[in-house]
Amino acid sequence: MSSDLRVFISYARVDSDRVSQLAADIGRVVDDVWLDARVAGGQQWWARILDEIKTCSLFVLVLSANSVRSDWCRIEADWARSNARPILPVLIDDIDVASLPRWWRGHQVVDCTERTVEAMLDVFEAVQQLTRAESPRPVHPPDPPAMPTGPFDHERERLGQEELSSADQLRVLAVLRDGLDYEGQRQEAAELLERLADRNDVTKAVHEAVGAALGRTFGREVAAPPAPGPVSQRGSGTPKQPSGLMRYLSNRYGGGL
């Protein structure tokens, strides 16, 4: 095991369970394996990630159906390339490699879609080969990239507003409903749709559309609760009861919403 090598692993957060196993495997031959789950969020966290990539001995790009759609992974990989870091793409999903960005395809890709002894030996050999020689640093260091935004940052901001017009509700609904089609975005989209449906000012049409969307996505009907009454009928001091959507999502995600 080498104690002076540092490996940075870039991955989609939804793949964290599988990536944790990969990190443990790489940790058999390298002492320092870095995952961004170690640090908190925010601009300071993003600066830390960029520094870890810039100074790593090897950048491992985990290729999955989720990571190839991730702005975070793309920007991290571009930053590693700009800083002339050795790059090792590791495939964990059966995806079309030919559809990847051209420079991603130019690197040796290790197939770990099945965690076999042969696949792990290929990973170990690639890690040792790519870290054997010192990689030259760029003569003119590149400017650091801006921190990417989450897929639903604008919708989350709108949902935090005290009042949301019917037009804005429809815009939020359209974006979040599309997010249900993607595995890496589905849970966050569902959580935000539940927040939209639970607003005091939500319209009946949006309420029903949220229920229908979640019903189609999760394979069961979800009855939208009755639309709230006018503002003048609220504020009676009666505790608000969980909506049908809240109960459904709580059951779906084990009460974590």
User: How many residues in total does the chain contain?
Assistant: 257
Same domain as 117, residue 170: no
Q: Are 30 and 127 in contact (CB under 8 A)?
A: yes
Same domain as 115, residue 19: yes
Q: Of 159, 219, 235, whose CA–CA distance to 191 is shortest? A: 159
Do strands 2-10 and 58-63 pair parallel, antiparallel, or not at all (unpaired)? parallel
Question: SS3 breakdown of the chain: % helix, strand, coil, rounded to 5?
Answer: 50, 10, 40
Residue matched to tokens 């290929």: 122
Same domain as 105, residue 218: no
Tens-place pLDDT, residues 141-197: 899 998 887 778 778 878 888 899 999 999 899 889 988 887 778 888 899 999 999
* C-alpha–C-alpha distance, residues 126 and 86, integer Å: 11
Residue at a domain's end among 131, 165, 193: 131
Q: Are 113 and 92 in contact (CB under 8 A)?
A: yes
Same domain as 162, residue 78: no
CA dihedral 193, 197, 202, 207 (to 10 degrees): 100
Owning domain of residue 230: 153-252
Same domain as 113, residue 197: no
Tens-place pLDDT, residues 108-135: 899 999 999 999 999 999 999 998 877 7
